[in-house]
């Protein structure tokens, strides 16, 4: 098609030369972010009970598939408001179960002090105030939620060793996870424990890191990874003691696995993912191994549609194998003057929500709340104050 020469020339002339004012640069929105660092010193654990862990003997994958739809969010989980916690409530929330390689189980309570509780409440209330102040802008951005979602495989093997993809791992139980320390993997609790028993003996649980090469014809899927055995696992006691419930509490669906040795991969740090840090409309990123019998790492991003203090609803496409994957956001690090990434939630799949006796299903991710941040930090460093989020 013939294009007149004067039109071509016009497109090459700067706007100000054509008698028009240059367009003002669009100011990109930068997420409001509030650093969280507990001031508490090292605490000694109090062992509540000792025993032997119980394990399922039947096929792990089938049992795991059966339990994926049993997550539910009750009234407390659906609460949008920030509430002050008491010292007793905080200590109860921080009780956890730990198992070792030999199946020995310990239920442990973490003593806390008033300084810890005061910081949690002050930070939460400050964040809630900021969240209300920003509510108008969040509502305007909610229209962007239902945009086209990206979901594509990572094809270049070199990217498997490049952050943030290097932190994505595959569990031998069929789930995904995220490396949050040299020897620690964050995942969903039901990837290793179904609320009644552990789905697999810990000595049989392995964490897979994707090799930086493609599989050759005839090779097994497992050969695409190098595997490191688990030596310890940490799970909230409210989860492991919920076996009598038909529906499991989605707000307790998180766990940390310690592996035998450090991997050669870089990890991602965790942070607090409450609504003031990760509001509706915020873009989130999830790399995961979507299919249990596939070595392909799949990356996707979408926006937070809505949520409560405990969970975020999002519209990222995924499959069951992605459950347990880390959900991260990009943030501007003022001190380092560069963009960084923080894990703010754990992808949980679909959960049932009951409100006014009506059931609704949502695609959810479990937010890392201040209390969860403190507990995960203790599991990985031995101190509430060992992490900055």
How many angstroms separate the CA atoms of 1 and 156, rounded? 39
- Determine contact, residues 361/350, Cβ cutoff 8 Å: yes
Confidence of residue 192 (pLDDT cuts 50, 70, 90): very high
pTM here is 0.84
- Mean pLDDT over 351-379 rounds to 82
| 106-110, 269-273, 332-336: least confidently modelled range | 332-336
Per-residue pLDDT at 127 = 58
Structural contact between residues 210 and 224, judged by C-beta atoms closer than 8 angstroms: yes
Instruction: Supply the angle between the helices 370-381 and 114-133 in degrees, to the nearest 10.
Output: 130
**Mean pLDDT, residues 119-129:** 73
CATH of domain 43-386: 2.40.10.120
* pLDDT of res. 124: 75
Check pLDDT > 60 for residue 2.
Answer: no
Taking only the tens place, the pLDDT of each residue in 228-272 is: 999 999 999 999 998 767 778 889 999 999 999 999 999 999 999
The per-residue pLDDT of the chain, averaged, comes to 80
Domains of the chain, residue spans: 43-386
Place of tokens 């290793």: 192
**Mean pLDDT to the nearest integer, 213-238:** 89
Q: Which two tokens stand for residue 340?
A: 């960084």
Residue 68's SS3 state is coil
Q: Which of 19-28, 63-72, 81-90, 181-190 has the highest mean pLDDT?
A: 181-190
**Triad 12, 13, 18: Cα angle to 5°:** 150
Is residue 164 reached through a cis peptide bond, with omega within 30 degrees of 0 on the bond before it?
Answer: yes
Contact of 78 with 312, CB cutoff 8 Å: no
Report the distance separating Cα 110 and Cα 88, nearest Å: 11
Interatomic CA distance for residues 100 and 95, integer angstroms: 17
Whether the pLDDT of residue 91 is over 60: the answer is: yes
């Amino acid at each position: 098609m013939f294009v007149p020469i004067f039109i071509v020339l016009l497109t090459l002339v700067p706007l100000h030369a054509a008698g028009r004012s240059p367009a003002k640069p669009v100011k990109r929105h930068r997420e409001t972010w509030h650093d969280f660092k507990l001031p508490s010193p090292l605490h000694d654990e109090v062992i509540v009970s000792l025993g032997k862990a119980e394990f399922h003997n039947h096929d792990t994958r089938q049992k795991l598939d059966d339990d994926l739809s049993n997550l539910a969010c009750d009234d407390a989980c659906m609460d949008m408001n920030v509430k002050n916690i008491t010292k007793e409530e905080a200590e109860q929330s921080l009780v956890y179960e730990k198992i070792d390689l030999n199946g020995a189980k310990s239920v442990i309570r973490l003593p806390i002090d008033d300084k810890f509780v005061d910081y949690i409440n002050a930070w939460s209330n400050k964040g809630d105030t900021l969240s209300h102040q920003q509510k108008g802008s969040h509502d305007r951005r909610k229209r962007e939620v239902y945009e086209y979602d990206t979901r594509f495989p990572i094809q270049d093997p070199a990217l498997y060793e490049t952050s943030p993809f290097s932190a994505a791992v595959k569990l031998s139980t069929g789930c995904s996870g995220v490396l949050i320390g040299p020897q620690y993997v964050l995942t969903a609790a039901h990837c290793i424990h179904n609320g009644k028993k552990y789905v697999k003996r810990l000595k049989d649980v392995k964490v897979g890191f994707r090799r930086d090469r493609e599989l050759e014809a005839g090779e097994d899927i497992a050969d695409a990874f190098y595997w490191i055995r688990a030596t310890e696992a940490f799970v909230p006691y409210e989860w492991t003691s919920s076996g009598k419930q038909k529906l499991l509490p989605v707000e307790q669906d998180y766990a940390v696995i310690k592996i035998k040795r450090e991997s050669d991969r870089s990890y991602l740090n965790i942070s607090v993912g409450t609504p003031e840090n990760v509001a509706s409309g915020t873009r989130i990123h999830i790399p995961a191994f979507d299919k249990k019998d596939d070595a392909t790492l799949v990356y996707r991003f979408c926006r937070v549609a809505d949520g409560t203090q405990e969970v975020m609803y999002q519209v990222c496409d995924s499959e069951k194998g992605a459950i347990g994957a880390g959900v991260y956001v990009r943030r501007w690090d003022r001190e380092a003057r560069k963009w960084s990434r923080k894990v703010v939630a754990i992808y949980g799949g679909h959960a049932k929500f009951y409100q006014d006796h009506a059931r609704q299903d949502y695609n959810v991710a479990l937010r890392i709340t201040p209390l969860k941040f403190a507990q995960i930090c203790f599991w990985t460093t031995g101190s509430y104050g060992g992490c900055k989020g």
